[in-house]
Structure 1
Protein backbone atom coordinates (compact mmCIF):
# COMPACT_ATOMS: atom_id res chain seq x y z
CA UNK A 1 0.00 0.00 0.00
CA UNK A 2 1.20 3.52 -0.83
CA UNK A 3 1.47 5.02 2.66
CA UNK A 4 3.01 8.37 1.63
CA UNK A 5 1.29 9.66 -1.50
CA UNK A 6 2.85 13.14 -1.29
CA UNK A 7 5.80 13.76 -3.59
CA UNK A 8 7.96 16.84 -4.06
CA UNK A 9 8.39 18.83 -7.29
CA UNK A 10 12.00 17.60 -7.40
CA UNK A 11 10.77 13.99 -7.18
CA UNK A 12 8.52 14.59 -10.16
CA UNK A 13 11.22 16.45 -12.10
CA UNK A 14 13.50 13.43 -11.83
CA UNK A 15 10.82 11.06 -13.18
CA UNK A 16 8.62 13.16 -15.44
CA UNK A 17 9.69 11.49 -18.70
CA UNK A 18 9.45 7.89 -17.49
CA UNK A 19 7.07 6.05 -19.83
CA UNK A 20 4.71 4.63 -17.20
CA UNK A 21 4.16 8.02 -15.52
CA UNK A 22 1.06 10.11 -16.26
CA UNK A 23 1.00 13.67 -14.89
CA UNK A 24 -2.47 15.16 -14.41
CA UNK A 25 -3.24 18.86 -14.09
CA UNK A 26 -6.30 19.24 -11.84
CA UNK A 27 -6.42 23.02 -11.52
CA UNK A 28 -9.89 24.39 -10.85
CA UNK A 29 -11.54 27.42 -9.28
CA UNK A 30 -14.98 27.03 -7.71
CA UNK A 31 -17.32 29.53 -9.31
CA UNK A 32 -15.05 29.95 -12.34
CA UNK A 33 -15.19 26.51 -13.97
CA UNK A 34 -13.28 27.44 -17.14
CA UNK A 35 -10.29 28.95 -15.34
CA UNK A 36 -8.44 25.68 -14.73
CA UNK A 37 -8.61 24.62 -18.35
CA UNK A 38 -7.60 28.12 -19.43
CA UNK A 39 -4.60 28.11 -17.07
CA UNK A 40 -3.56 24.70 -18.42
CA UNK A 41 -3.69 26.04 -21.99
CA UNK A 42 -1.32 28.87 -21.06
CA UNK A 43 1.22 26.89 -19.05
CA UNK A 44 1.53 23.43 -17.49
CA UNK A 45 4.07 20.78 -16.59
CA UNK A 46 5.40 19.18 -19.80
CA UNK A 47 3.50 16.03 -20.68
CA UNK A 48 0.63 16.73 -18.29
CA UNK A 49 -2.94 15.98 -19.31
CA UNK A 50 -5.85 18.00 -17.96
CA UNK A 51 -8.83 16.54 -16.09
CA UNK A 52 -11.62 18.85 -15.00
CA UNK A 53 -13.19 18.36 -11.58
CA UNK A 54 -16.70 18.94 -12.87
CA UNK A 55 -16.58 17.67 -16.45
CA UNK A 56 -14.29 14.66 -15.98
CA UNK A 57 -14.22 13.72 -12.30
CA UNK A 58 -17.87 14.24 -11.34
CA UNK A 59 -21.24 13.07 -12.63
CA UNK A 60 -23.94 15.53 -13.70
CA UNK A 61 -25.69 17.21 -10.79
CA UNK A 62 -29.09 15.78 -9.90
CA UNK A 63 -31.64 16.06 -7.12
CA UNK A 64 -29.39 14.12 -4.74
CA UNK A 65 -25.71 13.23 -4.74
CA UNK A 66 -24.35 16.68 -3.98
CA UNK A 67 -22.68 19.36 -6.07
CA UNK A 68 -19.95 17.03 -7.34
CA UNK A 69 -21.59 13.59 -7.56
CA UNK A 70 -19.39 10.56 -7.97
CA UNK A 71 -19.18 9.38 -11.57
CA UNK A 72 -20.17 5.84 -12.41
CA UNK A 73 -17.07 3.64 -12.09
CA UNK A 74 -17.10 2.37 -15.67
CA UNK A 75 -17.64 5.87 -17.05
CA UNK A 76 -14.79 7.20 -14.93
CA UNK A 77 -12.53 4.33 -15.96
CA UNK A 78 -13.25 5.08 -19.62
CA UNK A 79 -12.46 8.76 -19.09
CA UNK A 80 -9.18 7.88 -17.38
CA UNK A 81 -8.30 5.58 -20.26
CA UNK A 82 -8.93 8.38 -22.76
CA UNK A 83 -6.49 10.51 -20.73
CA UNK A 84 -3.82 7.83 -21.19
CA UNK A 85 -4.11 6.37 -17.68
CA UNK A 86 -3.94 2.58 -17.65
CA UNK A 87 -4.19 0.11 -14.80
CA UNK A 88 -0.38 -0.03 -14.83
CA UNK A 89 0.25 3.74 -14.82
CA UNK A 90 1.88 5.71 -12.08
CA UNK A 91 -0.13 8.89 -11.70
CA UNK A 92 0.96 12.22 -10.23
CA UNK A 93 -1.72 14.89 -9.81
CA UNK A 94 -1.23 18.57 -9.10
CA UNK A 95 -3.28 21.74 -8.79
CA UNK A 96 -2.73 25.24 -7.44
CA UNK A 97 -4.96 24.94 -4.37
CA UNK A 98 -2.72 23.07 -1.94
CA UNK A 99 -3.70 19.67 -3.30
CA UNK A 100 -7.45 20.19 -2.85
CA UNK A 101 -8.42 19.04 -6.34
CA UNK A 102 -5.47 16.73 -6.91
CA UNK A 103 -6.57 14.83 -3.80
CA UNK A 104 -9.97 14.26 -5.41
CA UNK A 105 -8.27 12.41 -8.27
CA UNK A 106 -6.07 10.55 -5.77
CA UNK A 107 -9.20 9.36 -3.93
CA UNK A 108 -11.08 8.45 -7.11
CA UNK A 109 -8.22 6.33 -8.41
CA UNK A 110 -7.90 4.50 -5.11
CA UNK A 111 -11.68 3.99 -5.08
CA UNK A 112 -11.27 2.29 -8.45
CA UNK A 113 -8.59 0.02 -6.99
CA UNK A 114 -5.51 1.89 -8.24
CA UNK A 115 -2.89 2.58 -5.54
CA UNK A 116 0.00 3.94 -7.61
CA UNK A 117 -1.14 7.56 -7.42
CA UNK A 118 0.51 10.61 -5.86
CA UNK A 119 -0.14 14.29 -5.19
CA UNK A 120 2.62 16.81 -5.87
CA UNK A 121 3.38 18.93 -2.81
CA UNK A 122 2.76 22.69 -3.00
CA UNK A 123 1.36 22.54 -6.53
CA UNK A 124 2.05 24.33 -9.78
CA UNK A 125 3.17 27.60 -8.16
CA UNK A 126 6.02 25.79 -6.39
CA UNK A 127 6.95 24.06 -9.64
CA UNK A 128 7.21 27.43 -11.36
CA UNK A 129 9.01 29.05 -8.42
CA UNK A 130 11.59 26.27 -8.57
CA UNK A 131 12.42 27.21 -12.14
CA UNK A 132 11.25 23.84 -13.44
CA UNK A 133 10.12 23.50 -17.08
CA UNK A 134 6.65 24.51 -18.25
CA UNK A 135 4.99 24.45 -21.65
CA UNK A 136 1.80 25.37 -23.47
CA UNK A 137 2.05 22.32 -25.75
CA UNK A 138 -0.79 19.85 -25.31
CA UNK A 139 0.32 16.25 -25.04
CA UNK A 140 -0.75 13.81 -27.72
CA UNK A 141 -2.52 11.12 -25.72
CA UNK A 142 -2.49 7.45 -26.60
CA UNK A 143 -5.67 5.94 -25.12
CA UNK A 144 -5.13 3.24 -22.53
CA UNK A 145 -7.15 0.54 -20.83
CA UNK A 146 -8.12 1.20 -17.23
CA UNK A 147 -9.93 -1.72 -15.57
CA UNK A 148 -11.64 -0.68 -12.32
CA UNK A 149 -11.81 -2.83 -9.19
CA UNK A 150 -14.12 -0.75 -7.03
CA UNK A 151 -13.48 -0.56 -3.29
CA UNK A 152 -16.95 -0.01 -1.92
CA UNK A 153 -15.71 0.11 1.65
CA UNK A 154 -14.05 3.49 1.00
CA UNK A 155 -17.40 5.15 0.49
CA UNK A 156 -20.30 6.18 2.72
CA UNK A 157 -23.74 7.21 1.46
CA UNK A 158 -26.58 9.13 3.07
CA UNK A 159 -28.11 5.96 4.52
CA UNK A 160 -24.89 5.14 6.34
CA UNK A 161 -24.67 8.69 7.69
CA UNK A 162 -28.24 8.48 9.00
CA UNK A 163 -27.41 5.23 10.77
CA UNK A 164 -24.29 6.83 12.23
CA UNK A 165 -26.18 9.60 14.02
CA UNK A 166 -25.89 8.94 17.74
CA UNK A 167 -23.69 5.87 17.18
CA UNK A 168 -20.65 6.13 19.48
CA UNK A 169 -18.77 3.77 17.19
CA UNK A 170 -18.73 6.31 14.34
CA UNK A 171 -16.99 9.70 14.20
CA UNK A 172 -18.15 12.17 11.57
CA UNK A 173 -15.53 14.72 10.48
CA UNK A 174 -16.54 17.96 8.74
CA UNK A 175 -13.71 19.35 6.56
CA UNK A 176 -15.17 22.81 5.86
CA UNK A 177 -13.94 25.98 7.53
CA UNK A 178 -15.12 26.66 11.06
CA UNK A 179 -17.69 29.32 10.20
CA UNK A 180 -19.47 27.09 7.70
CA UNK A 181 -19.34 24.14 10.07
CA UNK A 182 -20.85 26.26 12.86
CA UNK A 183 -23.60 27.54 10.57
CA UNK A 184 -22.47 31.15 10.90
CA UNK A 185 -22.32 31.53 7.12
CA UNK A 186 -22.98 29.45 4.02
CA UNK A 187 -21.81 31.06 0.79
CA UNK A 188 -22.33 28.02 -1.44
CA UNK A 189 -25.08 25.64 -0.31
CA UNK A 190 -28.76 26.25 0.37
CA UNK A 191 -28.65 25.54 4.12
CA UNK A 192 -26.12 26.34 6.84
CA UNK A 193 -24.86 24.11 9.64
CA UNK A 194 -23.41 20.62 9.90
CA UNK A 195 -24.41 16.99 10.29
CA UNK A 196 -25.33 16.39 13.96
CA UNK A 197 -22.47 14.96 16.00
CA UNK A 198 -19.73 15.87 13.54
CA UNK A 199 -16.47 17.44 14.68
CA UNK A 200 -14.65 20.05 12.60
CA UNK A 201 -11.20 19.66 11.05
CA UNK A 202 -10.74 22.24 8.29
CA UNK A 203 -8.91 20.63 5.38
CA UNK A 204 -6.37 23.46 5.14
CA UNK A 205 -5.12 22.41 8.56
CA UNK A 206 -3.07 19.69 6.86
CA UNK A 207 -0.96 22.40 5.19
CA UNK A 208 1.58 24.85 6.60
CA UNK A 209 1.54 28.62 6.06
CA UNK A 210 3.35 28.21 2.73
CA UNK A 211 0.83 25.67 1.43
CA UNK A 212 3.09 22.64 1.84
CA UNK A 213 1.88 19.44 3.47
CA UNK A 214 2.68 19.19 7.17
CA UNK A 215 5.23 16.69 8.44
CA UNK A 216 3.74 13.60 10.05
CA UNK A 217 4.05 14.77 13.70
CA UNK A 218 2.12 17.96 12.89
CA UNK A 219 -0.45 16.02 10.87
CA UNK A 220 -1.02 13.76 13.87
CA UNK A 221 -1.61 16.80 16.05
CA UNK A 222 -4.05 18.33 13.55
CA UNK A 223 -6.05 15.10 13.22
CA UNK A 224 -5.62 13.88 16.81
CA UNK A 225 -9.35 13.35 17.60
CA UNK A 226 -9.80 11.31 14.43
CA UNK A 227 -6.70 9.24 15.11
CA UNK A 228 -7.83 8.54 18.68
CA UNK A 229 -11.18 7.35 17.38
CA UNK A 230 -9.58 5.05 14.80
CA UNK A 231 -7.10 3.71 17.35
CA UNK A 232 -10.07 2.91 19.60
CA UNK A 233 -11.64 0.85 16.85
CA UNK A 234 -14.23 3.44 15.87
CA UNK A 235 -15.12 4.26 12.28
CA UNK A 236 -14.36 7.68 10.80
CA UNK A 237 -16.38 9.20 7.96
CA UNK A 238 -15.10 12.43 6.46
CA UNK A 239 -17.21 14.93 4.55
CA UNK A 240 -17.17 18.55 3.32
CA UNK A 241 -19.45 20.59 1.08
CA UNK A 242 -19.43 18.38 -2.00
CA UNK A 243 -16.97 15.55 -1.42
CA UNK A 244 -13.89 17.37 -2.76
CA UNK A 245 -12.27 19.26 0.12
CA UNK A 246 -12.73 16.24 2.41
CA UNK A 247 -10.22 14.34 0.25
CA UNK A 248 -7.10 16.07 1.68
CA UNK A 249 -8.12 14.96 5.18
CA UNK A 250 -8.69 11.41 3.93
CA UNK A 251 -5.32 11.52 2.18
CA UNK A 252 -3.62 12.79 5.36
CA UNK A 253 -5.11 9.94 7.39
CA UNK A 254 -3.98 7.47 4.74
CA UNK A 255 -0.49 8.93 4.92
CA UNK A 256 -0.50 8.42 8.69
CA UNK A 257 -1.44 4.77 8.27
CA UNK A 258 -5.23 4.99 8.54
CA UNK A 259 -6.55 4.04 5.09
CA UNK A 260 -9.88 2.88 6.55
CA UNK A 261 -11.31 6.41 6.86
CA UNK A 262 -14.35 6.69 4.59
CA UNK A 263 -15.53 9.56 2.41
CA UNK A 264 -19.15 10.68 2.37
CA UNK A 265 -18.98 11.59 -1.29
CA UNK A 266 -22.21 13.57 -1.49
CA UNK A 267 -21.29 15.42 1.70
CA UNK A 268 -23.21 18.44 3.03
CA UNK A 269 -24.78 19.33 -0.32
CA UNK A 270 -26.25 15.83 -0.52
CA UNK A 271 -27.28 15.77 3.16
CA UNK A 272 -29.38 18.93 2.86
CA UNK A 273 -31.06 17.69 -0.33
CA UNK A 274 -33.21 15.48 1.92
CA UNK A 275 -35.71 17.65 3.79
CA UNK A 276 -36.04 15.25 6.73
CA UNK A 277 -32.32 15.17 7.56
CA UNK A 278 -31.44 16.97 10.77
CA UNK A 279 -29.06 19.93 10.88
CA UNK A 280 -26.90 21.14 13.77
CA UNK A 281 -24.99 24.37 14.41
CA UNK A 282 -22.33 25.62 16.79
CA UNK A 283 -19.46 23.56 18.17
CA UNK A 284 -19.57 19.87 19.09
CA UNK A 285 -16.01 19.13 20.27
Structure 2
Protein backbone atom coordinates (compact mmCIF):
# COMPACT_ATOMS: atom_id res chain seq x y z
CA UNK A 1 0.00 0.00 0.00
CA UNK A 2 1.19 3.51 -0.83
CA UNK A 3 2.40 5.61 2.09
CA UNK A 4 0.39 8.60 0.81
CA UNK A 5 -3.40 8.17 0.92
CA UNK A 6 -6.00 10.27 -0.84
CA UNK A 7 -8.86 12.20 0.73
CA UNK A 8 -11.32 9.77 -0.88
CA UNK A 9 -9.45 6.79 0.58
CA UNK A 10 -9.65 8.29 4.06
CA UNK A 11 -13.32 9.29 3.68
CA UNK A 12 -14.22 5.68 2.84
CA UNK A 13 -12.43 4.30 5.91
CA UNK A 14 -12.54 7.05 8.53
CA UNK A 15 -14.93 5.20 10.84
CA UNK A 16 -13.18 1.82 10.74
CA UNK A 17 -12.37 0.87 14.36
CA UNK A 18 -8.63 0.28 13.92
CA UNK A 19 -8.04 3.59 12.11
CA UNK A 20 -6.70 6.56 14.07
CA UNK A 21 -6.60 9.95 12.33
CA UNK A 22 -4.02 12.37 13.72
CA UNK A 23 -4.07 16.11 13.15
CA UNK A 24 -0.46 17.40 13.18
CA UNK A 25 -1.02 21.05 12.22
CA UNK A 26 1.58 23.40 13.67
CA UNK A 27 3.14 26.78 12.95
CA UNK A 28 6.71 27.68 13.87
CA UNK A 29 6.70 30.86 15.94
CA UNK A 30 3.03 30.39 16.89
CA UNK A 31 3.13 27.30 19.10
CA UNK A 32 -0.60 27.31 19.95
CA UNK A 33 -1.82 27.88 16.38
CA UNK A 34 -2.20 24.19 15.55
CA UNK A 35 -4.17 23.41 18.69
CA UNK A 36 -6.39 26.43 18.06
CA UNK A 37 -7.00 25.38 14.45
CA UNK A 38 -7.89 21.88 15.64
CA UNK A 39 -10.37 23.26 18.18
CA UNK A 40 -12.03 25.28 15.44
CA UNK A 41 -12.38 22.44 12.92
CA UNK A 42 -10.82 19.09 12.09
CA UNK A 43 -11.57 15.79 10.39
CA UNK A 44 -14.23 13.94 12.42
CA UNK A 45 -12.71 11.54 14.97
CA UNK A 46 -9.21 12.99 14.62
CA UNK A 47 -6.97 13.46 17.63
CA UNK A 48 -4.35 16.20 17.90
CA UNK A 49 -0.63 15.69 18.51
CA UNK A 50 1.57 18.74 18.91
CA UNK A 51 5.06 18.95 17.40
CA UNK A 52 6.68 20.55 20.42
CA UNK A 53 4.57 19.09 23.24
CA UNK A 54 4.10 15.51 21.99
CA UNK A 55 6.53 14.83 19.13
CA UNK A 56 9.71 16.41 20.55
CA UNK A 57 11.69 16.46 23.77
CA UNK A 58 12.43 19.72 25.59
CA UNK A 59 15.25 21.73 24.02
CA UNK A 60 18.66 21.47 25.69
CA UNK A 61 22.27 22.33 24.78
CA UNK A 62 22.46 19.70 22.04
CA UNK A 63 19.87 17.75 20.07
CA UNK A 64 18.58 20.61 17.96
CA UNK A 65 15.46 22.75 18.09
CA UNK A 66 13.12 19.74 18.05
CA UNK A 67 14.98 16.92 19.83
CA UNK A 68 13.64 13.42 19.37
CA UNK A 69 11.14 12.44 22.05
CA UNK A 70 12.12 9.75 24.51
CA UNK A 71 10.71 6.54 22.95
CA UNK A 72 8.98 5.41 26.15
CA UNK A 73 7.49 8.85 26.77
CA UNK A 74 6.21 8.97 23.18
CA UNK A 75 4.82 5.43 23.44
CA UNK A 76 2.94 6.43 26.58
CA UNK A 77 1.52 9.50 24.81
CA UNK A 78 0.45 7.39 21.83
CA UNK A 79 -1.24 4.94 24.20
CA UNK A 80 -3.10 7.81 25.89
CA UNK A 81 -4.19 9.01 22.44
CA UNK A 82 -5.76 5.64 21.67
CA UNK A 83 -3.00 4.34 19.39
CA UNK A 84 -2.01 0.70 19.78
CA UNK A 85 0.40 -1.58 17.93
CA UNK A 86 -2.61 -2.78 15.92
CA UNK A 87 -3.75 0.70 14.86
CA UNK A 88 -3.59 2.07 11.34
CA UNK A 89 -2.66 5.73 11.57
CA UNK A 90 -3.31 8.45 9.01
CA UNK A 91 -1.62 11.78 9.74
CA UNK A 92 -2.38 15.13 8.15
CA UNK A 93 -1.37 18.76 8.54
CA UNK A 94 -1.79 21.96 6.55
CA UNK A 95 1.89 22.67 5.98
CA UNK A 96 2.72 20.52 2.98
CA UNK A 97 3.01 17.28 4.93
CA UNK A 98 6.03 18.36 6.98
CA UNK A 99 4.56 17.71 10.44
CA UNK A 100 2.51 14.69 9.37
CA UNK A 101 5.73 13.21 7.97
CA UNK A 102 7.42 13.79 11.34
CA UNK A 103 4.78 11.59 13.00
CA UNK A 104 5.11 9.05 10.17
CA UNK A 105 8.88 8.85 10.76
CA UNK A 106 8.56 8.65 14.55
CA UNK A 107 6.11 5.75 14.32
CA UNK A 108 8.33 3.91 11.86
CA UNK A 109 11.26 4.52 14.21
CA UNK A 110 9.18 2.98 17.03
CA UNK A 111 8.68 -0.11 14.85
CA UNK A 112 5.17 0.63 13.56
CA UNK A 113 4.60 0.25 9.81
CA UNK A 114 0.86 0.92 9.46
CA UNK A 115 1.17 4.69 9.24
CA UNK A 116 0.29 6.92 6.30
CA UNK A 117 0.10 10.59 5.36
CA UNK A 118 -3.01 12.12 3.80
CA UNK A 119 -2.31 13.86 0.51
CA UNK A 120 -2.76 17.62 0.16
CA UNK A 121 -3.71 18.44 3.76
CA UNK A 122 -6.60 19.81 5.77
CA UNK A 123 -7.45 22.88 3.66
CA UNK A 124 -7.85 20.68 0.57
CA UNK A 125 -10.08 18.34 2.61
CA UNK A 126 -12.21 21.24 3.81
CA UNK A 127 -12.33 23.03 0.45
CA UNK A 128 -13.31 19.76 -1.21
CA UNK A 129 -16.50 19.63 0.86
CA UNK A 130 -15.38 16.71 2.99
CA UNK A 131 -16.81 16.51 6.52
CA UNK A 132 -15.34 18.60 9.32
CA UNK A 133 -16.29 19.10 12.96
CA UNK A 134 -15.31 21.04 16.06
CA UNK A 135 -16.37 18.17 18.37
CA UNK A 136 -13.66 16.82 20.66
CA UNK A 137 -13.14 13.09 20.00
CA UNK A 138 -13.83 10.40 22.56
CA UNK A 139 -10.49 8.73 23.23
CA UNK A 140 -10.22 5.19 24.55
CA UNK A 141 -6.66 4.61 25.84
CA UNK A 142 -4.74 1.78 24.22
CA UNK A 143 -1.34 0.12 24.64
CA UNK A 144 1.56 0.96 22.37
CA UNK A 145 4.82 -0.91 22.93
CA UNK A 146 7.84 0.45 21.01
CA UNK A 147 10.33 -1.73 19.15
CA UNK A 148 13.04 0.74 18.15
CA UNK A 149 14.69 0.69 14.73
CA UNK A 150 18.07 2.15 15.59
CA UNK A 151 19.24 1.90 11.98
CA UNK A 152 16.84 4.64 10.89
CA UNK A 153 18.76 7.23 12.87
CA UNK A 154 22.09 9.03 12.50
CA UNK A 155 23.57 11.07 15.34
CA UNK A 156 26.10 13.90 15.20
CA UNK A 157 29.10 11.59 15.57
CA UNK A 158 27.87 9.39 12.73
CA UNK A 159 27.49 12.46 10.52
CA UNK A 160 30.91 13.79 11.53
CA UNK A 161 32.53 10.45 10.64
CA UNK A 162 30.80 10.58 7.25
CA UNK A 163 32.58 13.81 6.25
CA UNK A 164 35.63 11.82 5.23
CA UNK A 165 33.65 8.84 3.93
CA UNK A 166 32.84 8.89 0.19
CA UNK A 167 30.38 6.06 0.80
CA UNK A 168 27.98 8.40 2.62
CA UNK A 169 25.88 11.06 0.88
CA UNK A 170 24.48 13.90 3.02
CA UNK A 171 21.30 15.61 1.87
CA UNK A 172 20.19 19.02 3.19
CA UNK A 173 16.41 19.45 2.95
CA UNK A 174 16.22 23.21 3.56
CA UNK A 175 15.60 25.78 0.84
CA UNK A 176 18.53 26.68 -1.39
CA UNK A 177 19.27 30.06 0.21
CA UNK A 178 19.58 28.60 3.71
CA UNK A 179 21.63 25.68 2.40
CA UNK A 180 24.02 28.08 0.65
CA UNK A 181 24.30 30.26 3.76
CA UNK A 182 22.85 33.32 2.01
CA UNK A 183 20.32 33.75 4.82
CA UNK A 184 19.48 32.08 8.13
CA UNK A 185 16.25 33.28 9.76
CA UNK A 186 16.14 30.68 12.53
CA UNK A 187 19.49 29.24 13.58
CA UNK A 188 22.62 30.87 14.99
CA UNK A 189 24.89 30.03 12.04
CA UNK A 190 24.29 30.03 8.29
CA UNK A 191 25.48 27.40 5.84
CA UNK A 192 25.41 23.61 5.60
CA UNK A 193 27.31 20.51 6.65
CA UNK A 194 30.37 20.19 4.38
CA UNK A 195 29.80 17.82 1.47
CA UNK A 196 25.99 17.89 1.67
CA UNK A 197 23.92 18.28 -1.49
CA UNK A 198 20.63 20.21 -1.47
CA UNK A 199 17.13 18.82 -2.10
CA UNK A 200 14.43 21.18 -0.83
CA UNK A 201 11.69 19.20 0.89
CA UNK A 202 8.83 21.14 -0.71
CA UNK A 203 9.83 19.72 -4.07
CA UNK A 204 8.18 16.39 -3.17
CA UNK A 205 4.86 18.15 -3.92
CA UNK A 206 3.51 19.79 -7.06
CA UNK A 207 2.16 23.34 -7.32
CA UNK A 208 -1.27 22.23 -6.04
CA UNK A 209 0.23 20.74 -2.88
CA UNK A 210 -0.31 17.12 -3.96
CA UNK A 211 2.52 14.61 -3.68
CA UNK A 212 4.31 14.03 -6.96
CA UNK A 213 4.06 10.69 -8.75
CA UNK A 214 6.70 8.07 -8.08
CA UNK A 215 7.99 8.67 -11.62
CA UNK A 216 8.58 12.36 -10.93
CA UNK A 217 10.07 11.65 -7.51
CA UNK A 218 12.36 9.04 -9.01
CA UNK A 219 13.65 11.58 -11.52
CA UNK A 220 14.05 14.23 -8.83
CA UNK A 221 16.03 11.97 -6.50
CA UNK A 222 18.03 10.24 -9.25
CA UNK A 223 21.42 11.42 -7.98
CA UNK A 224 20.64 10.05 -4.54
CA UNK A 225 19.02 6.79 -5.62
CA UNK A 226 21.80 6.03 -8.10
CA UNK A 227 24.29 6.46 -5.25
CA UNK A 228 22.29 4.14 -2.99
CA UNK A 229 21.96 1.59 -5.81
CA UNK A 230 25.78 1.51 -5.87
CA UNK A 231 25.88 0.81 -2.12
CA UNK A 232 26.30 4.32 -0.78
CA UNK A 233 24.56 5.33 2.42
CA UNK A 234 22.27 8.39 2.59
CA UNK A 235 21.70 10.65 5.59
CA UNK A 236 18.98 13.30 5.36
CA UNK A 237 18.84 16.42 7.51
CA UNK A 238 17.19 19.85 7.65
CA UNK A 239 17.07 22.58 10.29
CA UNK A 240 15.71 20.57 13.22
CA UNK A 241 14.82 17.10 11.95
CA UNK A 242 11.25 17.94 10.88
CA UNK A 243 11.27 19.10 7.25
CA UNK A 244 13.75 16.34 6.33
CA UNK A 245 10.98 13.80 7.01
CA UNK A 246 9.06 14.38 3.73
CA UNK A 247 12.29 13.61 1.83
CA UNK A 248 12.77 10.43 3.89
CA UNK A 249 9.14 9.49 3.22
CA UNK A 250 9.54 10.11 -0.52
CA UNK A 251 12.57 7.83 -0.61
CA UNK A 252 10.67 5.13 1.32
CA UNK A 253 7.91 5.45 -1.30
CA UNK A 254 10.51 4.69 -3.94
CA UNK A 255 11.71 1.62 -2.04
CA UNK A 256 14.78 3.09 -0.33
CA UNK A 257 14.03 2.31 3.29
CA UNK A 258 17.72 2.26 4.28
CA UNK A 259 17.94 6.07 4.32
CA UNK A 260 18.81 7.59 7.71
CA UNK A 261 17.55 10.79 9.39
CA UNK A 262 19.98 13.04 11.25
CA UNK A 263 17.35 13.95 13.82
CA UNK A 264 19.19 16.87 15.42
CA UNK A 265 20.03 18.27 11.99
CA UNK A 266 21.62 21.67 11.38
CA UNK A 267 20.56 23.14 14.74
CA UNK A 268 22.31 20.26 16.52
CA UNK A 269 25.37 20.35 14.24
CA UNK A 270 26.12 24.00 14.99
CA UNK A 271 25.63 23.49 18.74
CA UNK A 272 29.13 21.98 18.66
CA UNK A 273 31.47 24.93 18.13
CA UNK A 274 34.18 22.77 16.58
CA UNK A 275 31.99 21.41 13.77
CA UNK A 276 32.86 22.76 10.32
CA UNK A 277 30.41 24.82 8.26
CA UNK A 278 30.29 25.20 4.47
CA UNK A 279 28.57 27.83 2.32
CA UNK A 280 27.73 28.09 -1.37
CA UNK A 281 27.03 25.14 -3.65
CA UNK A 282 28.51 21.64 -3.51
Same fold (TM over 0.5): yes
Moved over 2 A (4+): none
Aligned residue for 1:32, secondary structure, equals coil
1:228 positional shift? 1.0
Aligned residue for 1:33, secondary structure, equals coil
1:220-272 CA-partner distances (Å, limit 9, x unpaired)? 11111111111110000000000000000000000000011000000000000
User: Aligned residue for 1:63?
Assistant: 61
User: Aligned residue for 1:12?
Assistant: 10
Between the two proteins, the alignment pairs up a number of residues equal to 282
Q: Where do residues 117-266 of structure 1 align in structure 2 (5 Å cutoff)?
A: 117-266=115-264
Aligned residue for 1:148, secondary structure, equals coil
CA RMSD of aligned residues (A): 0.6
* Cα distance in 1, alignment partners of residues 41 and 166 from structure 2: 49
1:154 positional shift? 0.1
Query: Does structure 2 conserve the Cα–Cα contact (< 8 Å) formed by 1:166 and 1:197?
Result: no
Structure 2 alignment gaps of length 5 or more:
none
* Cα distance in 2, alignment partners of residues 219 and 30 from structure 1: 27
User: Aligned residue for 2:107?
Assistant: 109
* Cα distance in 2, alignment partners of residues 260 and 22 from structure 1: 27
1:174-214 CA-partner distances (Å, limit 9, x unpaired)? 00000000000000000000000000000001000011000
Aligned residue for 1:45, secondary structure, equals coil
* Cα distance in 1, alignment partners of residues 35 and 220 from structure 2: 33
Aligned residue for 2:105, secondary structure, equals helix
1:280 positional shift? 0.2
1:104 positional shift? 0.1
Moved more, 221-230 or 132-141: 221-230
* Cα distance in 2, alignment partners of residues 68 and 222 from structure 1: 27
TM superposition score normalised by structure 1: 0.98
Structure 1 alignment gaps of length 5 or more:
none
